[in-house]
């Protein structure tokens, strides 16, 4: 959906320099930009390349103000963020018709908002609640008593077990399994067999969370597993039972988090990180890809990068290597 540059400036709270009536039809990389595209420059060293591109306009920082430019500019302190926000206006989210497909199976006791959309072969079990404008993709299975808030988007074949709650504007990508039993067993020391420990808790997912494809998040054993608002999970992330993940945490692909861990707000966890049970990751900690955190370990240091197995501050890790 094309927009004038002036409209994009207002939407992103950027300062406009140049012709605000230019029509912008899309966003692009500097290398692939065509007339009608908007590009961004995060650092001054890439500005000349952007100016020489075919893009119609550039989002940049204050460093671009004094440059001799024939292209209109949007000036902002966070060019990449403004670029992402502009893309929301240029590529509005897909909307779905408010209907329940004829092949979907919805229990009579389920409460489905009139504006919700349920696609083919989805199953919604007893007493589930589906919020306004929420989309349930093909083949999804929504368990008994599950609560899904407004404006959520579930891609095909998502499975949500009973006792799970999703907040507002949650996105769940294909194949994710939410609220399954945790890995909890008690060994019989006499016979060597394992007895399943009760897995009767809940999973609570906050507002604006995005969960990648094929993620698995266990419900609590006796209490709750909690995913805080604004947190983003990449594909194939596993979170064990009773774990608490704070707000605005990002976790990259193939990370495994054991049960009863605490991950505080704004932590950043790289790909293929392993975290042992009862570990605590404090606010703002950064765990580099492939790091390992031992059970019951407390990792603290806001903005500090940790690396290695076991994880330690990057400066210490590099010195040892």
Catalytic sites, residue numbers: 241
Apex 36 CA angle, 33 and 40, nearest 5: 50
**What is the 3-state composition of the chain as percent helix, strand, coil, each rounded to the nearest 5?**
10, 30, 55
Crossing angle between the packed helical segments 5-12 and 79-90, to the nearest 10 degrees:
120
DSSP 62: G
- Distance from C-alpha of 272 to C-alpha of 276, rounded to nearest angstrom: 13
3 state DSSP class of 56: coil
In 3D, which of 248, 313, 256, 317 has the Cα closest to residue 284?
248
3 state DSSP class of 81: helix
Region of 319 please: left (phi>0), alpha (psi -120 to 50) or beta.
alpha
DSSP 44: G
The alpha carbon dihedral of 19, 21, 23, 28 has a sign of positive
């Amino acid at each position: 959906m094309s927009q004038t540059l002036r409209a994009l400036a207002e939407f992103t709270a950027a300062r406009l320099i140049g012709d605000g009536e230019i029509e912008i039809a899309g966003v692009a990389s500097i290398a692939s930009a065509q007339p009608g595209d908007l590009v961004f420059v995060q650092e001054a060293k890439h500005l000349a390349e952007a100016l020489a591109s075919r893009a119609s306009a550039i989002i940049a920082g204050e460093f671009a103000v004094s440059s001799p430019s024939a292209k209109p500019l949007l000036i902002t302190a966070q060019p990449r963020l403004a670029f992402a926000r502009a893309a929301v206006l240029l590529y509005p989210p897909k909307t779905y018709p408010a209907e329940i497909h004829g092949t979907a199976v919805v229990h009579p006791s389920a409460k489905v908002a009139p504006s919700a959309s349920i696609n083919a072969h989805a199953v919604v079990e007893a007493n589930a609640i589906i919020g306004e404008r929420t989309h349930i993709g093909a083949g999804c299975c929504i368990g008994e008593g599950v609560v899904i808030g407004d404006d959520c988007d579930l891609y095909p074949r998502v499975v949500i077990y009973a006792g799970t709650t999703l907040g507002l504007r949650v996105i769940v990508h294909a194949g994710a399994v939410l609220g399954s039993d945790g890995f909890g067993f008690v060994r019989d020391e006499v016979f060597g067999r394992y007895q399943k420990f009760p897995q009767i808790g809940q999973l609570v997912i906050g507002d604006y969370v995005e969960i990648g494809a094929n993620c698995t998040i266990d419900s609590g054993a006796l209490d709750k597993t909690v995913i805080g608002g604004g947190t983003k999970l990449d594909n194939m992330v596993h979170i064990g039972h009773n774990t608490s993940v704070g707000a605005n945490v990002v976790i990259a692909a193939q990370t495994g988090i054991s049960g009863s861990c605490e991950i505080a707000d704004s932590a950043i966890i790289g790909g293929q990180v392993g975290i042992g049970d009862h570990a605590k990751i404090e606010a703002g900690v950064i765990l580099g890809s492939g790091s390992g955190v031992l059970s019951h370990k407390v990792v603290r240091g806001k903005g500090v990068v940790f690396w290695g197995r076991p994880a330690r501050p990057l400066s210490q890790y590099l010195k040892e290597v």
